[in-house]
Amino acid sequence: MTGFDQLVRGFAIALSWKGLLYCFIGCLWGTIVGVLPGLGPLAGMTLLLPLTFGLDPTIGIIMLTGIFYGAMYGGSTTSILVRIPGEAASVVTCIDGYEMARQGRAGPALMISAVGSFIGGTVSVLGLMFIAPPLAKVMIAIGPSVEVVLMLLALFVISVVSAGSRIKTATMVVLGLLLGTIGLDNLTGAPRFTFGSPELSGGLSFAALAIGLFGLSEILINLEKTETIKAIQPKLRDLIPRWNDMRDSAPAVARGSVIGFIFGIIPGVSHVVSTFVSYAVEKRLSKHPEQFGKGAIAGVAGPETANNAVTGTAMIPLLALGIPSIPATALLLSALTIHGVQPGPLLLTDRPEVFWGLVASMYIGNIILLALNLPLVGIFVNLLRIPYPWLVTAILVVSIIGVYSVNSSSIDIWITVISGGVGYVLRKFGYEMAPLLLALVLGDRLEANFRLALTMSGGSYATFLDTASIVVLGSVLALLLLVQALAWAFGYRKSFADDAERA
């Protein structure tokens, strides 16, 4: 069966009534969690994870992925209208988006943001469709030693591209790997750090840790703030941008698509970093850089396109290599595993319907989001009128039930609460949680492949430096150097700090 036939088959799944319904639910819920501060795509996906248990794996993953890219759309709405980023990747949009809204131009900002998101999302799905299959074929041919090198590189890159302190990020990576060793040893079955608890023999629940470290800690931090939310209400008839807006946005959308596409493959906080890089690029290339920060539409179009362009390419390492690059795809990996589907190079041959169904649904989901977000923007903004303590209460109830439902274990609630407290403290001191979660997901396979490779080579560490490893190493390092050079050329680190301060 050719790739085209597979895609047609994927569309048949995605366009079935179930495919469309769950894609719509995912996109709608994703937009809602993107709009609401304190609930990002990760928490949104975890909350609806139990809903997928009774579904076909392809339909379940279509819904969860819909939440992921839906949240990227939703995050921009609050950035523009309230100056509160609903999602980390929308922080940069606050700068010029909110300024535009203050000047009575919220409509064009929302419209350009939605259209840019649609274009960026579609470009990245094209990339996923064309890059993942050949990459998976290459991966099938390589052994555990190359997989170890690849995973180590991914963790190294997370530490290097991080916006915060590198040593702190590296520490979070090590802590994540260490927490990943809790449970039965994969090769010998020996219990490690379980302290006799059968609940811990399967390891720490990823969903419980993710909700605690990301969702709960975010809620606790937000509870410290007492500001009231004042949203600017746009009118539907004001959504149409002027000719000048479209002319200024078009190149920014094109560049944002490319930047998001490249950064999507980089592990770590690529969706956040890509927006800052895109903003810095637009500012640097603009004929009127002084307008940035005062309502420049390119400052909205570029970053919003970039953060959506990341969504498709972030799926490439997950689906082709089985290596998640951002926390949201790490949760997708967990969800697929719960459904008995192993992401990685064999996914395309063993379960092609999952891959192609997902690709097709992402095209459809982007259209659904475009149709959903613009006319209903007023309704989504009204969600922000719900007083925060009421919202927090509802989120906590749903989160706890969601966490419990994964393993039916009260230990998971303990893990969520404690990791929420720990995450709150660590985030206050400038530690990032994303590297910890990614390392936690990769740790198990990293160790298993490391020991397997050594066993196969009779204990020789030279196995990690064979030809294939060196090719992988060289390619990834070249990509990393390219990204670093780009970031340096456009003053990313400086602009990251300046822009984050202003946002």
Partner 1 sequence: MADQATDHAQQSAPRERRAFPWLIGARRGGLLTAAALALIGIVFGWQAALLDLGHVGLPGPGFFPLALSLVLVVFSAAIALEGWLSSAKESAKDEPLEFGHPQVLIAFAALLAVPILFEPLGGLIALGLMTAVLLVFLARVPPLLAIVWSALGMAASWYLFGELLGVRLPIGPF
> Which DSSP letter does residue 216 get?
I
Cβ 326 to partner 1, closest distance in Å?
22
Q: Is 493 helix (H, G, I), strand (E, B) or coil?
A: helix
| CA nearest neighbour of 472 among 169, 173, 177, 143 | 143
**Member of 20, 178, 232, 258 binding partner 1 (CB under 8 A):** 178
| Distances, alpha carbon 69 to alpha carbons 187, 191, 361, in Å | 37, 38, 11
Residue 244 CB: number of other CB atoms within 10 A?
10
Contact present, 416 and 212 (Cβ < 8 Å): yes
Mask of contacts with partner 1, 133-152, x by CB under 8 A? --------------------
- Number of chain residues interacting with partner 1 (CB under 8 A): 60
- Under rule CB under 8 A, which residues in 251-270 are in contact with partner 1? none
Interface pick for partner 1 out of 80, 161, 177, 476 (rule CB under 8 A): 177
The closest of 328, 336, 298 to 312, measured between CA atoms, is 328
Counting contacts by CB under 8 A, is residue 462 touching partner 1? Answer: no
Nearer residue to partner 1 within complex by CB, 217 or 308: 217
- Provide the mask over 432-461, with x wherever binding to partner 1 is found by CB under 8 A and - wherever it is not: ---------------x--xx--xx--xxx-
Tell which one of 8, 15, 414, 484 touches partner 1 (CB under 8 A). Answer: 414
Instruction: Check residue 407 for interaction with partner 1 (CB under 8 A).
Output: no
What's the CA gap between 185 and 188, in Å, rounded?
Answer: 6
Q: Is 16 in the site for partner 1 (CB under 8 A)?
A: no
DSSP 295: T
The C-alpha atoms of residue 11 and residue 142 are separated, in whole angstroms, by 31
Which of 247, 288, 428, 494 is in the footprint of partner 1 by CB under 8 A? 428
Please give the Cα distance from 143 to 146 (Å, whole number): 6
Mask 222-241, x = binds partner 1 (CB under 8 A)? -xx-----------------
Closest distance to partner 1 from the beta carbon of 173 (Å)? 9
* Closer to partner 1 by Cβ: residue 193 or 488: 193
Q: Which amino acid, residue 113?
A: S
User: Which of 43, 216, 372, 436 is in the footprint of partner 1 by CB under 8 A?
Assistant: 216
- Using only C-alpha atoms, the chain has a radius of gyration, in whole angstroms, of 22
One-letter amino acid for residue 174 of the chain: V
The interface mask with partner 1, positions 39-78, x = CB under 8 A, is: -----------xx-xx------------------------
Rounded CA-CA distance 498/503 in Å is: 9
Owner of token pair 């007023």: 378
What does 26-38 look like in DSSP terms, one character per residue?
HHHHHHHHHHSTT
Q: CA nearest 153: which of 386, 496, 493, 480?
A: 480
By the 8 A CB rule, do 13 and 58 touch? yes
Integer Cα distance of 380 and 274 in angstroms: 25
- Site track 343-382 with partner 1 (rule: CB under 8 A), x = hit: ----------------------------------------
Q: Cβ 17 to partner 1, closest distance in Å? A: 18
**Separation between Cα atoms, residue 292 and residue 140, nearest integer Å:** 47
Question: Which of the residues 385 through 404 are near partner 1 (CB under 8 A)?
Answer: 387, 389-390, 392-394, 396-398, 400-401, 404
What are the residues binding partner 1 (CB under 8 A)?
A: 50-51, 53-54, 165, 167-168, 170-171, 174-175, 177-178, 181, 185, 187-188, 190, 192-193, 216, 219-220, 223-224, 387, 389-390, 392-394, 396-398, 400-401, 404-405, 408, 410, 413-414, 417, 420-421, 424-426, 428-431, 447, 450-451, 454-455, 458-460
